[in-house]
Amino acid sequence: MELAAATSNVSVAPQQSRRLLNAFSRKLGSVSSLSVGYFERDYCFKSPGLRVSAAASMDAVTAEKISPASFLDKRETGVLHFVKYHGLGNDFILVDNRDSSEPKITQEQAAKLCDRNFGVGADGVIFAMPGINGTDYSMRIFNSDGSEPEMCGNGVRCFARFIAELENLQGKHSFTIHTGAGLIVPEIQDNGQVKVDMGIPILKAQDVPTKLPGNKGEAVVQAELVVDGVSWNVTCVSMGNPHCITFGKKGGPNLKVDDLNLPEIGPKFEHHEMFPARTNTEFVEVLSRSHLKMRVWERGAGATLACGTGACALVVAAVLEGRADRKCTVDLPGGPLEIEWKQEDNHIYMMGPAEAVFYGSALL
């Protein structure tokens, strides 16, 4: 797989952007069907001046023909058009797969695309697919290692914004989405943030899944897990995907998450024999009863800047361990999420941002 090109709108001035466009246009030469893909989203859609300049540098396609939907509509064999989104720096390649229930690329191709040196670079690839059992859409995701998780919290916020863009929807909108974790309902707010009904957390040990024996009914709460000879206190929660949450070592002080050597300790949790489906691990510092700080090591993706399902799972763990209230701000490396585990319906609600970053095309 070869990368055609892609450009981010982060801190690129209009003049630089124009130069980039011209360079891409020259480089791609007669491959006019691809050259349309390379423009700065924000400047194209918010800056009429550049829109004209951009079009002028592309001899084959006029700016008027460019829209998010028409860009993704282009269907050349061997080319994947995508939009890159992120939710607090947890970044995804979004693929318009609404015409088929088969992902447009394989798990191996997804892993290559996610490579930050030889590909686009992302924590995962997300496919927007036709709904199942009466839902509006289905979401599937491949992690950056090519494995397929059941759910992705930051991803589902990106998914909702992607659908709104594809369907040209403005303002408040909600969708029903079938995922590996069942029905998930995101609602885009007027300010562009996305609130998601993440469903009911799963606590039964064998359903998480973990081989640790239940110690609070069937749930695993503040139980001992020996990792590399060191005893940690862990609580296990599934949000459709498995999470192991720790606030510190057994008998030790509360965690200071900035002091952790995540690349060293993270994989030892992920591949621990007590987690037959591997696990995501959240390391959590309690700042107050309504303010938590976390770092995450994700199954199949490693250290990421944010994990939505992880933020939900750790609030559940904090409540079960008596460390926090049901409504918390969770600080992740990429920014904060608002999480509430509602007593009334036992559902967890997550609120946070999702942003499109750039459009691109990859040669498969």
Ligand X SMILES: N[C@@H](CCC[C@H](N)C(=O)O)C(=O)O
Pairing of strands 280-288, 242-249: parallel
**Residue 158 φ then ψ, to 5°:** -60, -40
The answer to whether 153 contacts ligand X (rule: CB under 6 A) is yes
The answer to whether 301 contacts ligand X (rule: CB under 6 A) is yes
Per rule CB under 6 A, count of chain residues that contact ligand X: 18
The answer to whether 143 contacts ligand X (rule: CB under 6 A) is yes
**Closest distance of CB 170 from ligand X, Å:** 26
**Closest distance of CB 307 from ligand X, Å:** 4
Of these, 18, 81, 299, 323, which contacts ligand X (CB under 6 A)?
299
Active site residue 152: yes
187, 286 contact by CB (below 8 A): no
Which residues fall within 8 angstroms of residue 102, CB to CB, at 6 or more apart?
none
96, 128 contact by CB (below 8 A): yes
Of these, 7, 235, 280, 281, which contacts ligand X (CB under 6 A)?
280
304, 143 contact by CB (below 8 A): no
Nearer to ligand X, 7 or 90 (CB): 90
The letter for the amino acid at 162 is F
Options 40-48, 131-139, 151-159, 343-351: segment touching ligand X (CB under 6 A): 151-159
The answer to whether 357 contacts ligand X (rule: CB under 6 A) is no
CB neighbours (10 Å) of residue 80?
22
Of these, 109, 154, 210, 233, which contacts ligand X (CB under 6 A)?
154
Active site residue 236: no
The letter for the amino acid at 56 is A
CA angle 114/159/80 to nearest 5° reads 45
Of these, 300, 334, 353, 360, which contacts ligand X (CB under 6 A)?
300
Q: Measure the CA–CA gap between 362 and 122, rounded to whole angstroms.
A: 13
Catalytic pick from 44, 114, 152, 328? 152
Catalytic pick from 244, 307, 312, 328? 307
Nearer to ligand X, 301 or 319 (CB): 301
Span 66-105, contacts to ligand X by CB under 6 A: 90
Q: Measure the CA–CA gap between 155 and 142, rounded to whole angstroms.
A: 11
Nearer to ligand X, 241 or 246 (CB): 241
The answer to whether 37 contacts ligand X (rule: CB under 6 A) is no
Give the total residue count for the chain.
364
The answer to whether 201 contacts ligand X (rule: CB under 6 A) is no
298, 310 contact by CB (below 8 A): yes
The letter for the amino acid at 150 is E
- Kindly write down the DSSP assignment for every residue of 170-187, as one continuous string: -SSEE--EEETTEEEEEE
The answer to whether 333 contacts ligand X (rule: CB under 6 A) is no
Nearer to ligand X, 141 or 220 (CB): 141
Q: What is the binding site for ligand X (CB under 6 A)?
A: 90, 143, 149, 152-155, 241, 280, 298-301, 304, 307-310
Positions marked catalytic: 152, 307
